[in-house]
Amino acid sequence: MSNRTGDNTGDAPSRNASGGSAAPAPRLRDTLYLFAILVAVWLALTSSLHWQELVAGGIVALVLALFLGRTYAGLGLPPLTPRRIWFFVVYLLVLLQEIVRANLDVAYRVLHPGLPIRPGIVVIKTGLRQDIAKMMLANSITLTPGTFTLDVLGDTLLIHWIYVRSEDPAEATRLIGQRFERYLREIFA
């Protein structure tokens, strides 16, 4: 079908002024990102740089990336940039630090003869907009012992807390979620 205004709104691939294809399709870019992530995960899990392991990992990553590329694109993840990768690494270090700190706190509460707990459900607010970012925040909170995410409702998270320090949503947000959210905001901005 032709378009009277001269726009190229059909399904044909767009062309640049020299007649070549425009920038790589988002699907190709997402597939390449997924391939890179899968290779990195393979290397982290195998802890080996033997050529057989690298070839096997590359083949597995390529097959998975080709089959799962469309699903990955549907997640709405932002493009990888050095800045986002840096904040993701820092986020993982902060998460690990908080998990260790929370484990020590829960161990203290369990071993203390008076069992100093004050369990309750608190509400925290988040400024994150993407569902995947909210899911990562909720999972980060759940991974730290002493807190458990019960539900995510819009920009509100319901959290079970082993020792409620404040029922005020602003203060609970500062104590529970802000330590992760500042990095997630940079990753998913």
**Statement to judge: residues 88 and 180 lie in one domain:** yes
Into how many domains does the chain fold?
A: 2
Q: Of 74, 102, 131, which one is at a domain's C-terminal end?
A: 74
50-74 per-position pLDDT tens digit: 888 889 999 999 998 888 877 776 7
Cα distance between residue 167 and residue 7, in whole Å: 57
Domain co-membership, 91 together with 122 = yes
- Domain of residue 153, residue span: 82-187
Q: Does 180 fall in a domain?
A: yes
Q: Are residues 168 and 109 part of one domain?
A: yes
Q: Is the residue at 4 inside a domain?
A: no
Q: Which helix (H) or strand (E) element contains residue 150? A: strand 147-153
Angle at which helices 51-74 and 26-46 pack, to 10 degrees? 140
Residues 6+ apart with CB under 8 A from 172: 122, 123, 124, 159, 161, 165, 166
Q: Residue 29: its pLDDT value, please?
A: 74
pLDDT digits over 83-115, tens only? 888 999 999 999 999 999 999 999 999 898 888
Decide if 147 is inside a domain: yes
